[in-house]
Amino acid sequence: SDSLGEFDSILFAFGNGTRIQEIDRILYPHSIGAVYSAITEFLGFEMYSGEGKVMGLSAYGKIDSKLDLSPLIQLNESGKFVIDTKFFVFQILPWSHNNWISKHFLKTFGPKRGKNEPIDGRHADIARSLQDITDNTLMHLCTDLSHKTCSPNLCYAGGVALNGYGNSRILTEKKFSRLFVQPAANDGGTSLGAALYHSHHTLGIPRTICEGDSFLGPHFTVENCEKALRATRIPFHRSENLVREAAKRIFDGRIIGWFQGRMELGPRALGHRSILANPCDPRMKDHLNLCVKHRESFRPFAPVVTEDKAEKFFDLPAARSPYMLLIVPVRREWRDRLPAITHIDGTARVQTVNPEGDPKMFELLLEFERLSGVQILLNTSFNGPSEPIVCTPEDAIRTFQNHRIDDLVLEDFLTDVRF
């Protein structure tokens, strides 16, 4: 499900072996993603990049009948939906402009928020209603698709598949028992799909069943990292006990830029290009938002937790969440103890790790548990505002220097403590 792919917004298909058989499709402008993007722009955020902000803002909203967006999407008995286009100004080429909201929408729901205007309760309530109609539409589609395929499995991609609330509802309402969303579910993953389609459908190469791996990006050697550090005046050392040193600094309230191995594929930092911090520190969320990430105060931070202990802290509808694509409740007894990663609605967007997928992160979590009693760290993307996630050692050093990150780990190297 996406805003638009060619002239389709949604394609339904059944996969069997290496073959994909189309079941149905929904054509633009009848698009969940287009509605979400249009209202993202209405709320004063950037279309195609601010949707995650709206998802975070929705947790602050309440149900208000005057701001009920359900008339925008009409669910029908065929298992599909249609958009009421009098609320929008969708063009044949939607990327040709960034104002999709009609005068009728403005008359019904009030004026747009300017980019520099404060966010108030009305904006949060609209975001809440948008998330509700998104979830309900996804449930409607999944119910119909489940009946048609009788499959327990759902593979799901597109920009809407990055919506963690919707993904969790698919599982909690048992529309499917198993859900797979690949880590680059947005437009960045289309190259993967094209390569796999050509491999299987054109070349006839058999499918290999293997554990999904998000670490498909560039890798830099220890020598690359040392050279980059020596080109600066930053004091550093090669640590013989890197995990222990890093865990102690995080426990002491320091913020670490963490750079290890191959870069992640997709928009989420999954432990190879991450900023790590103490999830138990009640001041950490506001400090990171204000001083390091330079972003809106309402935006939450995600936890990374060992797979075997995740159920202790979170009400997960699945055993694993390796790509940080499920937003789930933090168990009530832990919410006050994990304030930096618990959102205003008591949820968190969880990433789970195991020793096979990321042994160093797993070891770091165990060491942090020895100090703190929890196998959890706050994990956010290693980048500055409006910047991509760091890729190279030089990127990491530049971001470390330009933002209030206390320490930097580049492979085996750790910067000396600076005050």
Q: What is the pLDDT of residues 93-105, one digit of tens each?
A: 555 556 899 999 9
Report residue 230 as tokens.
């020596």
Q: How far is CA 223 from CA 219, 352, 389, in A?
A: 12, 30, 22
Residue 110, number of CB atoms within 10 A of its CB: 14
Mean pLDDT within 216-235: 96
Residue 191, number of CB atoms within 10 A of its CB: 11
Which among 66, 112, 106 is positioned nearest to 87, based on CA atoms?
106
Q: What is the pLDDT of residues 50-66, one digit of tens each?
A: 999 999 999 999 999 99
Q: What is the pLDDT of residues 202-217, one digit of tens each?
A: 898 988 876 657 899 9
Of the CATH numbers 3.30.930.10, 3.30.420.40, 3.30.70.270, 3.60.21.10, which one belongs to the domain with range 8-151? 3.30.420.40
Mean pLDDT within 21-49: 94
Domain boundaries of the chain, sorted by first residue: 8-151, 222-415
Phi/psi at 238 (5° precision) = -90, 115
Question: What pTM did the predictor assign?
Answer: 0.95
pLDDT band at 398 (very low <50, low <70, confident <90, very high): very high
The terminus-to-terminus CA distance of the chain in angstroms comes to 47
What would be the CATH architecture of the domain defined by 222-415?
Answer: Alpha-Beta Complex (3.90)
Give 45's DSSP letter. Answer: S
Give the strand order in the sheet containing 407-410: 236-238, 413-415, 407-410, 256-259, 273-277, 376-381, 302-306, 347-353, 326-329
Q: What is the pLDDT of residues 151-186, one digit of tens each?
A: 999 999 999 999 999 999 999 999 999 999 999 999
